[in-house]
Amino acid sequence: VRSRDDATFDVAKPENWLGIWPVFREVVSTGDTYVYPPEIDEVSARAVWMGDAATRRVTYVARVNGCIVGSAYLRPNAPGLADHIANAGWIVSVSCRGRGIGRRFAEFVMDKARLMGYRAMQFNAVVSTNTGAVALWESLGFRIVGTVPEAFRHRTLGLTAIHIIHRKL
Amino acid sequence: VRSRDDATFDVAKPENWLGIWPVFREVVSTGDTYVYPPEIDEVSARAVWMGDAATRRVTYVARVNGCIVGSAYLRPNAPGLADHIANAGWIVSVSCRGRGIGRRFAEFVMDKARLMGYRAMQFNAVVSTNTGAVALWESLGFRIVGTVPEAFRHRTLGLTAIHIIHRKL
């Protein structure tokens, strides 16, 4: 079901990076939710977010009325004997927050992960002070399985804890 | 202090891979302690273990009487705003177990990590059934900060939990 204003989700093509990069920069530059260096340059950001064929990583885009407003990646959380657990990450433009795009995007990627045979999903670095994200994940059936003290250098709050969050798929 | 039989520890040179690979294969092939694919080929193993200049990864070797009997790596556990926590891993030949080499090697790498400015050390995939390793880490001041259920496909025990283990440096 899709209304005119709804976001659509697709696998990203390499040329979509031009549309993803402004969102990535916007999200990362605040230094309060993602570990990526806030001043990361475009070439490094592209390598980190888009990956390559060798990494078993898939990148997705979210569009509203054809404009890229977010992106996600999906990959094995670990190699070999632990590669049945997926890792994923999302970025959504601040201009599109509060419309439920992040939640639907998350459900979209979780479905993709199930189809690929992943049996669970794990996030390794959910900043504990990012209470909106923690609440979103808990509402989607995830739970905190671990907490690492002083693991994130929050731009305004200093050293804050990071949660490891997990759910079966 | 170093007796004739003691192990020595040094930064690995690229050509040391020839001596590291047999130890890596021996340790990984059992499929009960490391996530690396048990049948991993040498080229993939080298890429995984030795890293490259771009990865901020340092590899070490342990020698006994000049022979390589183990190796370790040290790297940031995450990029950017979380790169003050180190991640590390060790392999020691079965033929040299029980001599305390693993413990001294761990202390050596922890010292190196401190000198590099890391403020803590974290392991993301300590197999819960590897009780010897868990006991070693706890005796060295680490503690379990999280546990992921069914995260490791143990070759003989099936799905087992993985611990996330951490200590400040």
Please identify which residue in the block is written with the tokens 């888009």.
Answer: A50
Look up residue A107 and give its DSSP letter.
Answer: H
Q: What's the complex ipTM? A: 0.86
**pLDDT value of residue A5:** 58
Minimal C-alpha gap between B85 and chain A (Å): 7
A154 touches chain B (CB under 8 A): yes
A124 touches chain B (CB under 8 A): yes
Q: How far apart are CA A136 and CA A105, in angstroms?
A: 12
pLDDT digits (tens, 9 = 90+) for B107-140: 999 999 999 999 999 999 999 999 999 999 999 9
B82 touches chain A (CB under 8 A): yes
**pLDDT value of residue A133:** 93
Tokens of A52: 């390559």
CB B80 to CB A36 under 8 A? yes
| Distance (Å) of CA A10 to CA A61, A156, B6 | 6, 35, 57
Average pLDDT on B1-11 reads 74
Average pLDDT on B19-44 reads 95
For residue B81, give the nearest of A124, A148, A153 by CB distance: A153
**pLDDT value of residue B1:** 46
**How far is Cα of residue B126 from the mean position of the Cα atoms in its chain?**
10
**Residue whose C-alpha is closest to residue B24's, from B2, B58, B48, B54:** B48
Q: How far apart are CA B149 and CA B73, in angstroms?
A: 26
**Which residues lie across from B120 on neighbouring strands?**
B85, B168
- Contact call for residues B88 and B109 (beta carbons, < 8 A): yes
Dihedral over alpha carbons B142, B148, B149, B155 (to 10 degrees):
-70
A169 touches chain B (CB under 8 A): no
Average pLDDT on B32-56 reads 90
A140 touches chain B (CB under 8 A): no
Predicted TM-score of the model (pTM)? 0.90
Please identify which residue in the block is written with the tokens 């040329």.
Answer: A15
Tokens of A87: 């890792």
**pLDDT value of residue B36:** 94
**How far is Cα of residue A125 from the mean position of the Cα atoms in its chain?**
11
Look up residue A95 and give its DSSP letter.
Answer: G
- Contact call for residues B60 and B107 (beta carbons, < 8 A): no
Please identify which residue in the block is written with the tokens 């990627």.
Answer: A109
**pLDDT value of residue B144:** 98
Chunked in runs of 10, what are the mean pLDDT values of chain A (169 residues)?
Answer: 71 95 95 94 94 84 93 95 97 88 96 98 97 96 98 96 98
**pLDDT value of residue B93:** 92
pLDDT band at B2 (very low <50, low <70, confident <90, very high): low
Mean pLDDT of chain B, nearest integer: 93
Dihedral over alpha carbons B117, B119, B125, B131 (to 10 degrees):
110
Tokens of B21: 């690979």
- Contact call for residues B128 and B163 (beta carbons, < 8 A): yes
For residue B85, give the nearest of A145, A147, A151 by CB distance: A151
Q: For residue B77, which phi and psi values (nearest 5 degrees)?
A: -70, -25
- The alpha-helical segments, DSSP class H, found in chain A are 17-29, 42-50, 101-115, 131-139
Q: Is the pLDDT of residue B159 over 60?
A: yes
**pLDDT value of residue A4:** 47
**Residue whose C-alpha is closest to residue B50's, from B61, B38, B40:** B61
**pLDDT value of residue A1:** 46
